[in-house]
């Protein structure tokens, strides 16, 4: 009998303890232990496909209604449905579509988050990075690494649209966001067109320049060059079972990923092929570039067309299918360099 009373008292004391904890900003580990230490990664973020046919009219409507002077950057963000309230496509990565109209300027600034761009539509806009302008044509890959001044302009006669990829959610989580406006709207042009490619992208570099930054010194990787290599690989090389033919955008100073936090790729899924599923502890954001295909993510089919964006979260099985007669070409960027640097990279079929 006495033990029943003791048991009741203990129960009441526990209730009192539990209800007192939140007021002191304390919590009981044993309540959340099982959901914290899962036997393998469990993601809140989900796979998703953003269709270009839905996004395009909204983006052009945003361009009509919101001037760049007001917006600094006129971008529609791609928000993962599993990460409500976060400006994020995965817990580490951000993606958005940016549009710049003829005559517009997206003012100069710099920030600690790294950014990549893949041009989707229109041609003749430019991105300026550290005094070098680079013209943006469809399929071109442009980098704006951590803490470099960058701005965009459009002196052409057509709207230009690109995919922005940033490590902003990661840098925010690491409490390391810094941002500054350049004193003028645009930075002065200090270098000729193609300067960084001539210096670092042709198998040479100025010999007294011994810096080995973890971001690529090359501003632009033209689609023409990437497409030529990919075509060569498709005609000469064996097919990778998971990725078909795939090239990595390289930082020539390290031989590794183009940015310290993000890796980027262009890949070719051969006609009439079904590749082998795999999964890895890095998330990928894909952009359809040419042809069409399917990414099956944990068995669910995401059928993509050019300019559609697909997110594959960490540790979800995915495989590529190309049912068509033409090669299917996909761009992607990932947080793999971060996962690898932290010794957390795992991959399995």
Residue ranges that bind ligand 1HN, judged by CB under 6 A: 73, 75, 96, 98, 106, 115, 150, 152, 164, 166, 168
The residue among 326, 235, 224, 223 whose CA lies nearest residue 273 is: 326
The residue among 227, 169, 222, 215 whose CA lies nearest residue 197 is: 222
Report in angstroms how near the CB of residue 214 gets to ligand 1HN at its nearest: 19
Report in angstroms how near the CB of residue 218 gets to ligand 1HN at its nearest: 18
The residue among 283, 243, 279 whose CA lies nearest residue 263 is: 283
Report in angstroms how near the CB of residue 122 gets to ligand 1HN at its nearest: 15
* Angstrom distances, CA of residue 191 to CA of 128, 129, 133, 134, 183: 10, 10, 8, 10, 19
Nearer to ligand 1HN, 47 or 153 (CB): 153
Residues 6+ apart with CB under 8 A from 267: 230, 243, 244, 245, 246, 247, 329, 330, 332
Nearer to ligand 1HN, 75 or 264 (CB): 75
Report in angstroms how near the CB of residue 147 gets to ligand 1HN at its nearest: 12
Q: Please check whether residue 285 is in contact with residue 93, taking contact to mean a CB–CB distance below 8 angstroms.
A: yes
Nearer to ligand 1HN, 100 or 230 (CB): 100
Report in angstroms how near the CB of residue 177 gets to ligand 1HN at its nearest: 9
Q: Please check whether residue 339 is in contact with residue 315, taking contact to mean a CB–CB distance below 8 angstroms.
A: no
Report in angstroms how near the CB of residue 104 gets to ligand 1HN at its nearest: 12
Report in angstroms how near the CB of residue 93 gets to ligand 1HN at its nearest: 11
* Dihedral sign computed on CA atoms, order 56, 58, 59, 65: positive
Report in angstroms how near the CB of residue 269 gets to ligand 1HN at its nearest: 29
- The per-residue b/e assignment along 122-141, b for 16 or more CB within 10 angstroms, e otherwise, is beebbbbbbebbbbbbbbbb
Nearer to ligand 1HN, 150 or 280 (CB): 150
Spatial separation of the C-alpha atoms in residues 245 and 320, rounded to whole Å = 12
Judge residue 306's burial from the number of C-beta atoms within 10 Å of its C-beta, 0-12 exposed, 13-18 middle, 19 or more buried: middle
Nearer to ligand 1HN, 97 or 297 (CB): 97
Nearer to ligand 1HN, 115 or 328 (CB): 115
Structure tokens at 151: 């701005």
Nearer to ligand 1HN, 162 or 265 (CB): 162
Name the β-bridge partners of 48. Answer: 311
Nearer to ligand 1HN, 96 or 222 (CB): 96
């Amino acid at each position: 009998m006495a033990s029943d009373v003791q048991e009741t008292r203990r129960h009441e004391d526990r209730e009192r303890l539990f209800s007192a904890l939140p007021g002191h900003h304390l919590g009981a580990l044993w309540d959340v232990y099982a959901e914290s230490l899962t036997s393998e990664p469990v993601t809140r973020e989900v796979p998703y496909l953003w269709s270009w046919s839905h996004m395009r009219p909204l983006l052009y409507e945003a361009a009509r209604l919101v001037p760049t002077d007001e917006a600094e950057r006129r971008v529609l963000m791609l928000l993962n449905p599993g990460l409500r309230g976060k400006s994020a496509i995965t817990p580490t990565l951000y993606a958005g579509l940016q549009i710049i109209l003829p005559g517009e300027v997206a003012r100069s600034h710099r920030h600690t988050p790294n950014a990549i761009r893949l041009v989707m539509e229109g041609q003749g806009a430019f991105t300026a990075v550290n005094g070098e302008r680079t013209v943006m044509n469809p399929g071109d890959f442009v980098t704006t690494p951590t803490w470099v001044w960058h701005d965009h302009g459009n002196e052409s006669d057509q709207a230009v649209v690109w995919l922005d990829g940033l490590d902003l959610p990661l840098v925010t989580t690491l409490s390391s966001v810094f941002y500054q406006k350049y004193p003028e709207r645009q930075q002065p042009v200090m270098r000729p067109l193609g300067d960084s490619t001539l210096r670092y992208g042709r198998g040479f570099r100025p010999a007294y320049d011994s810096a080995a930054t973890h971001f690529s010194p090359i501003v632009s990787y033209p689609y023409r060059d990437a497409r030529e290599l990919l075509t060569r690989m498709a005609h000469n090389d064996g097919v990778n079972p998971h990725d078909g033919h795939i090239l990595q955008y390289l930082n020539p100073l390290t031989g590794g990923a183009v940015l310290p936090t993000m890796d980027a790729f262009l890949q070719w899924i051969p006609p009439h092929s079904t590749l082998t599923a795999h999964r890895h502890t890095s998330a990928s954001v894909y952009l359809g570039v040419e042809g069409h295909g399917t990414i099956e993510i944990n068995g669910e089919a995401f059928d993509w067309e050019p300019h559609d964006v697909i997110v594959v979260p960490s540790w979800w099985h995915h495989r590529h299918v190309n049912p068509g007669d033409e090669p299917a070409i996909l761009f992607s960027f990932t947080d793999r360099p971060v996962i690898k640097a932290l010794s957390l990279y795992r991959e399995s079929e």
